[in-house]
Structure 1
């Protein structure tokens, strides 16, 4: 199994990162993909990748919550990293209108800029949306030239939104929200195209049931797979095979 979205380089894991990786491996999660968020996360992310070269793969991007008035300078620095290191994707990028709409225009500019990098470098994108699926889809429809591909990570939307995302050529990242009793995903997951689904934790955030409210970690990927297998009435091994292949294909692993 692959955890396609994990921030195990975060300070929340500084005291037991090695144990966290070992627990993931013991659960059959043999690959962990690391999305970047801002300038400060680059060094710890690359250090983590270097410490676990057979397990971790990193990506490079600017998360929308870290977009501010200096966004052009920040983007220039982020972009320069693609010449220094081999990244598997442009991410985590997107639009977040949940916390603060102050820099909405800058967020949209940063998103489009990074989508264009992905086209130029032929890389997938990892998209963060919060209170912004419609805005994100509108921008993607304008930018999609047939080469853009990627994943809407931490998907918690409707069947209609899932179809709109798939129709644009994008995957859905299912994580801990899929296991929440009040998350609504029990009505959505039975109708998803599993050829467009990948697994993720978004750790340390959004831990699945029965760990909800605690620190999340890659080992819990199997709890999300189990939830999908229960809702689809298929074997967990089938979920594992399908989502692993989807992730390998999407990220060219």
Structure 2
């Protein structure tokens, strides 16, 4: 059995004291594939170091996170992203998107960065990994403009409605399901089993969004098993079946 964490920030400073232990714990839980999203240029070196330490398990993305899209620096940051793609291989453009939780004033430049990085993904024939927080309408507005066979990827940390799930799927997006599915107020557990499992991938977003029973503490990739167990409960399938299907889905998205 192989589980895949399609979104984990294992390079985060939150793991500086015990990163190897955290990764070994996950490997022992049959979580053997880790897809690593970028934030901005300040995280690039740490991502590369992580890949070097675990070359068989870590698969890197490159992109500019919407909360890092700032007026004075975003042009330089986007250039950094484009330069990295010229130098080496990545498995997705991510995480990219729109976040209106922290700053609504940057919506215009967030949209510009999102458009530009979608075009980059198309140029390299890669998936995108979308960050969306309090911005479903704005994200879908951008996606609809780029809709086509060459646009595909993952709607990371999906927390929307059933209708929004169908809209994401219509844009060739898989739904990244994480700790929120275990929350009492998460709501997605109320309709998720109406979505064909072929559209679902698993993720932790560690060190964030820790599932029950560890909610409120630092998240880690080993906790993907709690998310997978919840999914197996919702779909009335075994954990092994969930692992097999969702890992196959991740291979379809990332090409590896």
Shared fold (TM-score, shorter chain, > 0.5): yes
Q: Does 1:32 align with 2:62?
A: no
| CA offset digits 1:150-208 (Å, max 9, x no partner) | 00000011111000111111100000001001111221212112101000000000010
| SS class of match (1:31) | strand
Task: Please provide the CA RMSD for this pair.
Answer: 0.8
- 5+ unaligned residues in a row in structure 2: which ranges? none
Map 1:214-233 to 2 at 5 A: 214-233=217-236
Counterparts of 1:202 and 1:79, CA distance in 2: 24
Q: Tell me which of 179, 182, 185 is aligned to 1:179.
A: 182
* Number of residue equivalences: 253
| SS class of match (2:31) | coil
Query: Does the CA-based 8 Å contact 2:6-2:35 persist in structure 1?
Result: yes
The runs of at least 4 consecutive aligned structure 1 residues that moved more than 2 Å come to: none
Map 1:108-147 to 2 at 5 A: 108-147=111-150
What's 2:198 paired with? Answer: 195
Counterparts of 2:188 and 2:122, CA distance in 1: 32
What's 2:52 paired with? Answer: 50
Q: Does 1:6 align with 2:17?
A: no
Q: Tell me which of 167, 171, 174 is aligned to 1:168.
A: 171
Map 1:13-92 to 2 at 5 A: 13-69=15-71, 70-92=73-95
Counterparts of 1:180 and 1:32, CA distance in 2: 23
Counterparts of 1:136 and 1:79, CA distance in 2: 22
| CA offset digits 1:11-59 (Å, max 9, x no partner) | 0001111101100110000011100001101110111111110111111
Counterparts of 2:172 and 2:118, CA distance in 1: 14
What's 2:251 paired with? Answer: 248
- 5+ unaligned residues in a row in structure 1: which ranges? none
| CA offset digits 1:69-96 (Å, max 9, x no partner) | 1211210111100111211110000000
Counterparts of 1:245 and 1:9, CA distance in 2: 25
| SS class of match (1:227) | helix
| SS class of match (1:103) | helix
Query: Does the CA-based 8 Å contact 2:63-2:81 persist in structure 1?
Result: yes
| SS class of match (1:40) | helix
